[in-house]
Each structure stands twice: as C-alpha cells, then as structure tokens.
Amino acid sequence: MNKIAEFFHPRRLPFHFLLAIVVTLVLAACSFWILSSYTHHGDELSMPDYRGKNYNDLRDSATVGKFVFEVSNVKIFDESKPEGTVVKQEPDPGGNVKRGRKVLLTLSTAVPRTVKMPQLAGNITLRQAKHILEDSGLELGTVVETESDSPNLVLGQYREKTGKAIAAGTDIKQGEKIKLEVGVARRNPVDYGGDGDVSDDTEADPQAGNIEF
C-alpha cells in the first residue's frame, strides 16, 4: 500500500509521466469528438435525382431539411417541359454527400432566351466554331463545303431555317441552329466528257464524319 502511495506522489517522475499520458488521451478524444461534430462525420446521404421535377414541389418537400437548394441564374429553354422544371443539377445524382450540402439547380423556361450571334466567319476552324456555338447556347446545323484557299476555316454563317446570312452581334434565340459554310481544299476538275457541270459546293451532315472537327 505504501509503495502505491509512493508511486502516485506528485514528486515522483512516474506519476507525472502517467498524468501526461492521461491528459493527452483525454485531449485527443475531445478533439476527435469536436471535429466529428463540426464536419458531420459519418452523416452522409445519397444525392437524389431532381431532374424532371418541378422546383416549387421540391422547395415544399422534406428534402429541404437535408440539402440547401440554390437556383442558377441561367435558365435553359425547353418548350417540352413545364416552366421551372429541373433540367440540370450539381452535384450529380447518385453520389454520397454530406447533409446540408448546397445543390445548384438549373431550371427550364418556356420563354426562349436571346443570345448574341458570335463571329465565326474568318480565321476560325470548324472545330472551334462548334465549341463557340455550344458555349453561346446555339447548335451547329448543316455544314456546306466550298472549295477555297482556306480549307477547314469558316467562310460564312447563316440561319438554318431561312438560309439567310446572320451578322455577328445579332440577337438570336437560344438553341437555334446555325448553318456554316466551310472551306475545303481545291480539287482538280475531272473531265468526264459531255456538257455536264460539276458543282463546287456540297452540303454535308456534320455528324457524317466527312468534315474534320
């Protein structure tokens, strides 16, 4: 009994060593508990798929208590969907996220947004023009090949519906298709005899693969 009391005497080195270990363990346990509470450790949920659902219905649902919804300033025109339908979300559905995660929702609109027609004709390749159209909210329509000294460069830009030229800066509905005239290397004409004429211009489907993107 006297040996035990002597061991725990404050003046003994073993006592201070044991006390330091105990204090360290207690502090480590408290730190882990505080960190787990702060980061909601282990409190993860599967991200639902909100696409195709109406935002007003989601806002009034119990899901609001699990996630924080934020609506994007950019709306996507889709006449096939009711106004306010979720067409895109971030994070994507299916992944595990923490409770309270912010979810960015992109909604549909029944009113087409207008955008400025970009300048494509000039020193821009067809591949670059396609990316510019997509970034502007427009679509690539028919590609017309014209023999030129500037192969694979865009020579002209037109409305797909009317075939009329459209100048850069013109207001145009988002999602509209743009027809492009693209140069191709000149080919030596072949004389097959007779009076038949060979056309220099051909139209190509941009998905057919005969145009380099």
CA of 46: how far to CAs of 36, 40, 61, 66, 103, in Å?
19, 15, 17, 10, 13
Res 35: pLDDT: 59
CATH topology of domain 44-109: Trypsin Inhibitor V; Chain A (3.30.10)
Which pLDDT score, from 0 to 100, does residue 8 have?
Answer: 53
For residue 48, the 8-state DSSP code is P
* C-alpha distance from residue 64 to each of 93, 158, 178 (Å): 16, 46, 41
pLDDT band at 169 (very low <50, low <70, confident <90, very high): very high
pLDDT at 75: 83
Q: Considering only residues 175 and 28, tell me which one the structure prediction assigns the higher pLDDT.
A: 175
Residue 208, pLDDT score: 44
CA distance 157 to 186: 21
The hierarchical CATH code for the domain 114-187+198-204 is: 3.30.10.20
Look up residue 198 and give its DSSP letter.
Answer: -
Of the listed ranges 19-23, 108-112, 157-161, 196-200, the least confidently predicted one is: 196-200
- Put the strands of the sheet holding 139-147 in their side by side order: 154-159, 177-184, 139-147, 201-204
Establish whether domains 44-109 and 114-187+198-204 are of one fold.
yes
Rounded distance between C-alpha atoms, residue 155 and residue 125, angstroms: 9
pLDDT digits (tens, 9 = 90+) for 95-151: 898 888 899 999 998 887 789 999 999 989 999 999 999 999 899 999 999 999 999
What mean pLDDT value characterizes the chain?
Answer: 80
Residue 172 CA, chain-centre distance (Å), reads: 22
Q: Which one-letter DSSP state was computed for residue 69?
A: E
Mean pLDDT of 159-164: 94
Tens digit of pLDDT for each residue in 59-96?
A: 877 566 788 899 998 888 787 889 999 999 999 998 89
Nearest by Cα to 47 from 85, 92, 88: 92
What mean pLDDT do residues 5-22 have?
62
The answer to whether 147 and 202 are in contact (CB under 8 A) is: no
Q: Which residues of 138-149 are buried (b: 16+ CB within 10 A; e: fewer)?
A: bebbbbbbeebe
Domain ranges of the chain: 44-109, 114-187+198-204
